[in-house]
Amino acid sequence: MKRYYLDANATYEILPAVKESLVALLDGPRSFSYLNGSSIHAEGQKVRALIDAARADLYRYVRLREADFQIVFTSGATEGNNTALLVPFEMSSAKDSLKPEYAGHVISTSVEHSSVEEGLQRLERAGVEVTRVRPGSDDIISPDAVLRELRPETKLVSMIWANNETGVIHPIPEIFRAIQRASPNCILHTDAVQALSKLELDLSSFPFDFLTIAPHKFGALPGIGISIVNKRLPLKPLAVGGAQELKWRPGTENVVGIVSIQAALAELSKLITRYREVITPLRAEFEERVLAHYPTIEVIGKDAPRLPNTVMMRLPGILTEDLVVALDLAGVSCSRGSACSSGKQLGSHVIGGMNYPKEAGREVLRLSFPANFQESDLETVLERLFQCFERFGLRTKASHSDTIPASVH
């Protein structure tokens, strides 16, 4: 049985170009056996050159100047998000403590990734006041809604750019430009994990202080991340003990992971083009056929700007935890939401933070198509999906004996 991986928002397959680059690094005719770029001897300096080349490629891709921003290699976006939240308050990631002089106010949203939401909860336990802006009836965070919450004591604004569960794209550049005009000293952070991996972005077009990226979302290795930090910030990093990454992230660099980023980055424009030109219309056809067959299903954020590959469906009355297992057994890999919270039984906190009833968080199913999904596979995926839906009692528009409707395209 052929399997279909429809969980690309959780992680992407390691790209062939990445595998080739790693073979060359570790086992090719010019392979590297010593991978510490901080050493001053010849072996160390060869590795340093690899790190510097990867960083230079990143600066070019995101259109930022090294004079203004530091690109920091981390263990992942979770570390980057925690750093962006805790550093402005000089808090340790190990305990909930806050010096009184660092108290303040934070604005975020009710639809953040768990690595931000749980960081916000830690700040609250330490005495920081947090305001979570909810999406409007259009499922989008509006600039006006954020500006209404801005105070003189607001120290940090942290907002996800494109939601990992619903795919909804929030107008972060517009929001951050408005905040900077109103409060120039406010620190601005965005989780750009999903946005950068699926959309063409110009990071030079708006102000920010922290921006987090997870390269495994576009085909690099897991366990390596990127934080882009504005050099205007006179802040102390969370960790000490080394001068790597301009002291923002001390410790021997993950050279294998960094090389994988460079190789994946060279392919990213192709992935984004395919998302836009191929996956977007496929997603539209998929949703049209699902909704035609099952009119009680609701696509979350359907009328909002969304990532081209993401479908978050609400199946009223169906608890989807077991449905995900059934689909897995049927050869379709998908999820109920974020992989970082998939083991939790409370349902999606993102849906809970939107304009839906409480029970909706346990009635959702997320499919996120990879860029290499083939149009010829759509029919089989729909067939397996519909079979599982019917086994779980989801009523069709017609009788259960009807055949799957032919494509209208």
Q: Return the closest-CA partner of residue 225 out of 255, 203, 258, 248.
A: 258
CB of 189 closer than 8 Å to CB of 208:
yes
The answer to whether residue 388 is catalytic is no
Torsion of CA 205, 208, 214, 219, to 10 degrees: 10
Angle at Cα 261 formed by Cα 255 and Cα 264, nearest 5°? 140
Angle at 376 between CA 329 and CA 331, to 5 degrees: 5
Q: Specify whether the backbone of 204 is left (phi greater than 0), alpha (psi in -120 to 50) or beta.
A: alpha
DSSP 365: E
Distance CA 314, CA 364 (A): 4
d(C-alpha 322, C-alpha 328), whole Å: 10
Helices (H), 275-310: 280-293
Tally the residues of the chain: 409
Q: From the candidates 186, 334, 340, 388, which is the catalytic residue? A: 340
Distances, alpha carbon 61 to alpha carbons 176, 203, 245, 273, in Å: 21, 9, 19, 15
Q: How far is 61 from 58, CA to CA, in rounded Å?
A: 5
Spatial CB neighbours of 156, under 8 Å, sequence gap ≥ 6: 84, 85, 88, 104, 106, 107, 186, 187, 188, 189
**Active-site residue set:** 340
